[in-house]
Structure 1
Amino acid sequence: MTTEMEVEVIARETIKPSSPTPTHLQSFKLSLLDQVAVHFPNKFILFYAAEAEVDPGLSKYKSESESESEYDSTSDERSQRLKKSLSLVLTRFYPLAGRIKDHLTVDCNDAGAEYVEARANCTLSDLLQQPDPKTLSHFCAVPQLPSSTTNSTPFLVVHATFLKCGGMALGISISHKITDAATFSSFIKAWADTALLGSPVLVPDFTAVSSHFPPATTEEEVSMKPINFNKLKFDGIPRRYVFVSSKISSLKAKAASASVPNPTRVEAVSALIWKCMMATACLKSSPPPSPSAFALNWAINIRARIDPPLPEHSFGNMSVVLRISHMEQPNKQCIKEEEKEIVLSDLVCQLRKGIEGFRDNYGKELQGENRREAYLKEVREIMELQFSEEVEMYGHTSWCRFPFYESDFGWGKPTWVSIAPMSPGRSGIPLGLTTFLDTKDGQGVEAWVTLTPQDIPLFETNSDLLAFASLNPTPLYTE
């Protein structure tokens, strides 16, 4: 971008449900998984071109003068549609318009969601030539995190930024306290359907999760007080790596084995990122010292993985963190000695074994009478590993296969969909966390990896990574 980008907030308002929440629904019970979850925002941005028929290369954009003359009418029309449809869909997703009441419930008081309207002095083409994490953070406003359980912080904040080309960036911040990726996806689909068709098609289920995971009755039952949360590091730098479909085909072939002859694209990319991060740790030569062991955690949606399965659109948190591996660190020379090198296909096997073994192992415990104790025990053990100085913890989570690229509010489908990473020191994202998203064609994978400044040069010169990934290419083209 030739000029410094400026985002000017021109309006803020509260959007309330179009009709009041019935009295019998005004107290929403948190599930055990909601109680343990942090009141922390998941942030997402959908970028839209000026017109639905604009091609992926943005070659048919109108001139700047033509776009400028239509800016006000276009932005006002889109903003009004967003606000009206948001008000309608909040009637169906009524907990999102409420506020935390206490440790057990959400007060569905129709306090509403926050809507922010802004303008930016740049075009979509400018933004997407090489997306900058610091720039992206301007397109997704978040409320200040609460200092206590009882607060007036909204669960949902919408940030609609209109660009000078006539395009827009739709930032959505939604609290992890009562939503996971599946719930987030369901809400966006319902909202887009409402804007385009007049009403949402899907119907969320608000009882399944809390019925399967009844809430703890006191804070002491879910307290993690023995753990020192101050040790958790949030100073990572988000880096974006893109694996296009042709490279993924080659990667899957390399990652295949007799045990897993056809790994999924996410399994193959996850194993590669995992391998490169361990290699980076092995090559470190300066303090802090390398860990003696590694652990990988995978966040999985268990709605369809328990028996009987829960409805697809069950509202709330229904994702659990699954420990895939806890392995001793290889010798520091392992990266140079071929015979000691970590084998990619072995890592894929560990991933597949861990996830497929969920139903018979941890999953079975989560379906028994002592499911609460089993879940809290697992959470505590994971957190203890997270804060251990001997263990290097990595976390992987996939947002792939959710229909974000189908989100048509009335002006076409998104040109690009992204998470909204924030500046180092403010992200709230632990080091070693990787988020996977689809590329627009649905065949590739975008990986957002959180690294330290010291790790970036080692990670990004890894020959395995360079063979399959591109560092932050433009999203305007998938190949």
Structure 2
Amino acid sequence: MEIPDCYYPSEPVLVAPGGPTPKHTLYLSNLDDQIFLRFSIKYLYLFKRAVGAEILKLSLSRVLEEYYPLAGRVRASGEGDRGEKLEVDCNGEGALFAEAFLDLTAAEFLEGCRRPNRSWRKLLYRVDAPSFVAVPPLVVQVTHLQCGGMILCIAICHCLCDGIGSAQFLQAWAAQASVKPVVDLPISPFHCRHVLKPRVPPHITFSHPEFTSLPQPEPLPFLLSQFLQCQHLVPISATFTPEDILRLKKLCVPSLKCTSFETVAAHVWRSWARALDLPPSLQIKLLFSFNVREKLEPELPEGFYGNGFVLACAESTVEQLLNSNTHYSVKQVQEAKGRITDELVRSLVDMLEMRKVKPDLSASLVISQWSKLGLEDLDFGEGGPLHMGPLASEIYCLFLPVIGDFYAFNVLMSMPEKVADKFEQYLKESWSGEGEGEGG
């Protein structure tokens, strides 16, 4: 469904913290400052009943008193090679807030909201800036609908927050909006990132395969990542109910105790490789975000909202992945998680201190976990959302929450149009590989 153009009755405004905040420079850790995180996470919420823009702005100003770095500005620190290290100038300048109106109802949007399309980008005010660092870390647009509902789009700089951190901030904002008078935050934010500073001198003790290319048995005719970027991509969405997930787990023979994430991630990885008809000898990876807050020694403090995740890396040849049963693929995911320790994270932080590197995407599927973070549990005073998801579908895979079913997953990603139907079909099949027979 093509979204009509939004009407803006006035120019966006800056919402500053409601009270005095510390004025200083916030150090960003090497996990925050990774090259592949230099973008904004863009969330879209649909609500049946709108909350007044003034209430949203007032509550935002309140919560920015605590989350004041989000009211600052990202800048290059001048440290490191070519001054590329980023930091936050906590100057209280404010978050950008836009108000718009749209000739659309919530019901009409729901009919077409299973899969995002490019027109949805109209629902977030486009900041005309020369570079990523010139965009405010927090940009908000509330769009009022014909029916009295609203769409709330929020863009949060990924260098400041990961999924857990942004959910923590959003829940704090909603708590301020839904009650009067001002209340204490559910969790006080922990701002300091020095707990993730590199060692002196840096000491790399692991190979970190998520950043290094896999040796291939023969020269590749093309890089898969480059091939995908040249294709016409279309979004694919599939919901996995608890019953679907249990059915997948039962295919794990011999029996293997596994989580829902491990099961669905393994299934999506295999379906992706199968739909793309990749060469059997090709070495491929599955990269997925893994929360390390409780893996570190000591654990990251409660309220830490910066980037507290690393990319776990599973590897296989296409032939092994597709011809083995479900037990094999789930085991690869579990072993990737099991390799993550405090020492591995410290080694990664030290490696990033010595050189700027990007994840190896030459033949990789990337999964980002948005479900079970509480992102869908937002109530600004008029009830929870009817829909929650990203503003756009990307080439990487998102595991999204399903409103009303905590144990379900919605899988969303973009695939080349010529294999999209095939990929969707494989996602919905309980296939297990040639060793057990395909179909379902």
| TM-score bin, normalised by smaller chain | 0.7 to 0.9
Residues 367-382 of structure 1 aligned to structure 2 (within 5 Å): 367=346, 372-375=349-352, 380=357
Q: 2:290 aligns with which of 300, 319, 330?
A: 300
Matched-pair contact (CA < 8 Å) for 1:205–1:314: yes
Q: 1:202 is matched with which residue?
A: 187
1:137 and 2:121 equivalent? yes
Counterpart position of 2:260:
265
Distance 2:153 2:229 in 1: 22
Deviation at 1:215, TM superposition (A): 9.9
Query: How many Å separate the matches in 1 of 2:374 and 2:143?
Result: 22
Write the distance in 2 (CA, Å) between the matches of 1:394 and 1:238: 15
Shift of 1:269: 1.3
Q: Number of residue pairs matched?
A: 393
Is the contact between residue 9 and residue 100 of structure 2 (CA under 8 Å) also seen in structure 1?
A: yes
Q: CA distance change for structure 1 residues 257 and 17 in 2, over 3 Å: closer, same or farther?
A: farther
Q: Is the 8 A contact 1:437 1:447 kept in 2?
A: yes
1:457 is matched with which residue: 421, 428, 437?
Answer: 421
TM-score by length of 2: 0.81
Match of 1:281 in 2: 276
Q: Aligned to 1:244, which of 217, 237, 241?
A: 241
- Alpha-carbon spacing, 1:435–1:329, altered in 2? closer, same or farther (3 Å): same
Q: Find the aligned partners of 1:109 and 1:232 in 2 and give their Cα distance.
A: 43
Q: Distance in 2 between matches of 1:301 and 1:418?
A: 20
With over 3 angstroms needed to count, the CA separation of the structure-2 counterparts of 1:216 and 1:186, relative to structure 1, is farther
Number of the residue aligned with 1:84: 58
- Give the match for residue 171 of structure 1: 153
Whether the 8 Å contact between 2:199 and 2:350 is mirrored in structure 1 is: no
* Contact in 1 for aligned 2:166/2:305 (Cα 8 Å): no
C-alpha distance in structure 2 between counterparts of 1:277 and 1:267, whole Å: 15
Q: Name the CA distance, whole Å, in 1 between partners of 2:144 and 2:45.
A: 12
Residue identity in the other structure for 1:85: S
Q: Distance in 2 between matches of 1:249 and 1:328?
A: 26
2:7 matches 1:33: no
Identical residues among aligned pairs (%) = 24
Q: Could you tell me how far 1:30 is from its partner in structure 2?
A: 1.1
- Residue 202 of structure 1 aligns with an amino acid whose one-letter code is I
What residue number does 1:211 align with? 195
Corresponding position of 1:255 = 252
Give the counterpart letter for 2:274 in structure 1: A
Q: Distance in 2 between matches of 1:182 and 1:232?
A: 32
Give the alignment partner of residue 348 of structure 1, picking from 330, 333, 341. Answer: 330
- Within 1, Cα distance between the matches of 2:388 and 2:147? 18
Could you tell me how far 1:81 is from its partner in structure 2? 0.9
**Structure 1 partner of 2:98:** 116
Alignment deviations for residues 373-397 of structure 1 (CA, whole Å, 9 cap, x no partner): 34568984x63x32x4xxx211111
State the match for 1:107 in structure 2: 89
The 2-side partners of 1:443 and 1:266 are apart by 10
Match of 2:345 among 360, 366, 373: 366
Deviations 1:81-132, CA, capped at 9 Å, x for gaps: 1100011111111111111232342111111111111111111111112324
> How much does 1:22 deviate?
2.5
Structure 2 gaps, min length 5: 77-84, 202-211, 214-222, 432-440
**What is the one-letter code of the residue matched to 2:402?**
T
CA 1:47–1:250: 2 relative to 1, 3 Å: same
Corresponding residue of 1:437: 400
Q: Give SS of 2:237's match.
A: strand
Deviates more, 1:7-16 or 1:184-193: 7-16
Residue 415 of structure 1 aligns with an amino acid whose one-letter code is L
Counterpart of 2:140 in 1: which secondary structure?
strand
Q: Deviations over 1:300-355 (max 9, x none)?
A: 11111112111242132111112122x22319xx96xxxxx232221111111221
Shift of the 366–158 alpha-carbon distance from structure 1 to 2, 3 Å rule, reads same
Structure 1: how far apart are the matches of 2:198 and 2:191? 13
C-alpha RMSD of the superposition: 3.1
C-alpha deviation, 1:365, in angstroms: 3.1
Q: Which amino acid aligns with 1:48?
A: F
Map 1:4-15 to 2 at 5 A: 5-11=4-10, 12-15=12-15
- Per the alignment, residue 64 of structure 1 pairs with none
Give the structure 1 partner of residue 70 of structure 2.
Answer: 96
Equivalents in 2 of 1:454, 1:379: separation in Å?
35
Whole-Å Cα distance in 2 between the matches of residues 291 and 164 of structure 1? Answer: 55
- For 1:46 and 1:379, the matched residues in 2 are separated by 34
Q: Which amino acid in the other structure matches residue 301 of structure 1?
A: N
Q: What is the letter of the counterpart of residue 459 of structure 1? A: F
| Residue number in structure 2 paired with 1:65 | none
Instruction: Check whether the contact 1:434–1:448 (CA below 8 A) recurs between aligned residues.
Output: yes
Q: Which amino acid aligns with 1:118?
A: A
Q: Any idea what the Cα deviations from partners look like across 1:248-300, whole Å, max 9, x if unmatched?
A: 22222223643x23x22222211111110111232x6xxxx787221111111
1:330 matched to which residue of 2? Answer: 319
Secondary structure of the 1:437 match is strand
Are 2:138 and 2:157, in contact at CA under 8 Å, matched by a contact in 1?
yes
Query: Could you tell me which residue of structure 1 aligns to residue 19 of structure 2?
Result: 19
* In 1: Cα distance, 2:387 partner to 2:370 partner: 14
Structure 2 distance, partners of 1:211, 1:196, is: 33
CA offsets per residue over residues 419-466 of structure 1, 9 Å max, x none?
A: 1116xxxxxx4x3x111012112121001122122331331333x534
Hey, what's the Cα distance between the residues in 1 that align with 2:354 and 2:312? 12
Distance in 1 between residues matched to 2:273 and 2:28, nearest whole Å: 37
Amino acid at match of 1:153: V
Aligned partners of 1:167, 1:269: CA distance in 2, in Å? Answer: 34
Q: Partners of 1:414 and 1:243 in 2: how far apart?
A: 20
Relative distance call for 1:80 and 1:264 in structure 2 (3 A) is: same
Mapped partners of 1:143, 1:232: distance in 2:
30
Output the CA distance in 2 between the equivalents of 1:40 and 1:329: 31
